[in-house]
Amino acid sequence: MWVIEYRELIRILTISDLKVKYQSSVLGFAWSLLNPLLMMLVLYVVFSNVFKASQDHFALYLLIGIVSWRFMSNGTTSAMTVIVGKSSLVTKIFIPRQVLVLSSVLSSFISSVLEFLVLIPFLLILGAGLSPYVLFFLPIHAIFFLIVYGVSLILAALYVYYRDLNQIWDVLIQIGFFLSPIVYPLTTVPQEYMNYYMLNPVTIIIQMHRDVLLYHMLPSLSDIAISVFAGLAIIFLGSAVFRRFERRFAEEL
Amino acid sequence: MQYGFLHDDLDANGDGNIYAIIADDVSKKYRIPKEKKITVYENLMALVRGGAYAYEEFLALNRVSFSVKHGETFGIIGPNGCGKSTLLKLLAGVLYPDGGRVNINGRIAPFLELGVGFQPELTAKDNVYLYGAIMGLTRRNVDQRYDEIMDFSELKRFENVKLRSFSSGMYVRLAFATAIQTNPDIMLVDEVLSVGDESFQMKCGQKIDEIRKAGKTILLVSHALDTVQSLCSRCMLMDKGKMVVVGKTEDVLTEYARARQKSK
């Protein structure tokens, strides 16, 4: 299995990706926290009058949704270009190319976990408190990882052939932001669209994060089962697409 | 394509020899699009206009078959554009064959270009570990060989210097020393032996000779016919993607000389 055989390379690439991300700006890690906080403030000001009545701790509700979604958007956008960006590792030497995508998503995963760690003091300050269910955060985020990695495999493979995919994906990510329950409560979604709405697997993930961080409860077993199933299905599809397109990577780069 | 660790049973030709490389009827077609389309937009427009998949095919390798025994030094010669580099990339696993099969029996180190994956922003030391990882070595493996790499490249003093401040000679020395220490079973060498100054070249030559004598398999692609003659016991002559002749090096070189005479 390539994950085990190339674990050292995955480790090195992940760490150097994190180093580059946080060393390139002077404020480093602080910037990556400022972004979701500012976004939360703006959305809070805009939407608090609309949804505040129906939602306790609206600021935290927003913040958890935003930070969750950032893993989806940052993870996929940076992993998409990784095959093209590290083309010498594709055209000059053989390594399993999934290694590149995996280490990019892993680096985004670690960033995301750090952002959530900073979120915990906010839970205390803003009066939501903490419960032992917080421990379930990491398993849920690991399920999220499956989804993001699967999607990234597809995007990274397609980007080699279609170099304007990043612009298209930017738009789709924007749409996805508003098609997930980030700024509004799930209850505002009209009942007749609910079945379609729930097709977005990130919806369940965000809800589960709120369950354990904000509502102090266990996520439902069906939510866990559905999201694990969705994650595995996306990875399976992503790997199939990636293997299919991988054959001509070296010629296209 | 199959990769595997050194099994003692790859005896596909059924003659009792252990083979390191078997290429069986290998073909490679490059697609040359009539019009290069690299965006979704361009592809959609081409669909509307028709002729979306118009490309010409260029047969870079045409049903090439050969095998290299374990422990053998095998040469590939031929004029520019005969498919040598394509063949090497296929063996390295970078390109996929469109027809036929490639069997590699053992850990392979492609010396297609030195210093692949080196990052200028990392120190020499970090780059050695990075390259080892690219070759699939564990951290402990690199630990064991680290001192030897630094001795061979004569760069011990500069191990904590970032690679971007290295001269090109130092860069190549580090790259060669690291690559050679990954202890491959099979080495694919594409005319990279001319690195560094004369004394370092000599050292490289000696090292390759040492590896050859240690019973490793070497596949050498070169224009330098005297190098091929001195190192390789057998070799293959290629022309226009086809295999012309495989055999003892002297015979193949004679054949090559005659073919060149004729074409003049």
| One-character DSSP codes across B76-111 | EE-STTSSHHHHHHHHHTSS--SEEEEEEES-EEEE
ipTM: 0.82
Model's pTM, two decimal places? Answer: 0.88
Inform me whether the C-beta atom of residue A250 falls under 8 Å from chain B C-beta atoms.
Answer: yes
A3 to chain B, minimum CA–CA distance in Å?
A: 11
Inform me whether the C-beta atom of residue A243 falls under 8 Å from chain B C-beta atoms: no
Tell me whether B32 touches chain A (CB under 8 Å): no
- Laid out side by side, the sheet with B99-105 consists of B2-4, B99-105, B19-33, B55-69
The C-alpha of A161 sits at a distance from chain B's nearest C-alpha, in angstroms, of 6
Cβ-based burial of B39 (10 A; exposed 0-12, middle 13-18, buried ≥19)? middle
- Yes or no, beta carbons of A88 and B117 under 8 Å apart: yes
pLDDT in tens, B194-238: 666 777 778 877 887 888 888 889 898 888 788 888 888 899 999
Task: Please check whether residue B144 touches A, CB under 8 A.
Answer: no
To the nearest whole angstrom, how far is the Cα of A6 from the nearest Cα of chain B? 5
Show which of residues 10-49 on chain A sit within 8 Å of chain B, judged by CB atoms: 11-12, 16, 20
| Partner residue opposite A8 with nearest CB, options B94, B122, B137 | B137
Flag if A5 and B117 touch (Cβ within 8 Å): no
Residue by residue, pLDDT tens for chain A (253 residues) are 889 889 999 999 999 888 888 876 666 777 778 888 888 888 888 887 777 656 778 889 989 999 999 999 999 999 999 999 998 889 888 889 999 999 999 999 999 999 899 888 889 998 888 899 999 999 999 999 999 999 999 999 999 999 999 999 999 999 999 999 998 888 888 888 888 888 899 999 999 999 999 999 999 999 999 999 999 999 999 999 999 999 889 888 8
Distance from CA of B68 to the nearest CA of A (A): 20
Q: Do A12 and B119 touch (CB under 8 A)?
A: no
H or E element in which residue A147 lies: helix A137-161
Contact B116 A88 (CB under 8 A): yes
Q: Exposure string (b/e) for A66-90, b if CB count within 10 Å is 16 or more? A: bbbbbbbbbbbbbbbbbbbebbebb
**A104 backbone dihedrals φ, ψ, rounded to 5°:** -65, -45
Cβ contact A165–B40 (<8 Å):
yes
User: Which residues of A fall within a CB distance of 8 Å from B137?
Assistant: 8
Residue A120 near residue A134, CB atoms below 8 Å: yes
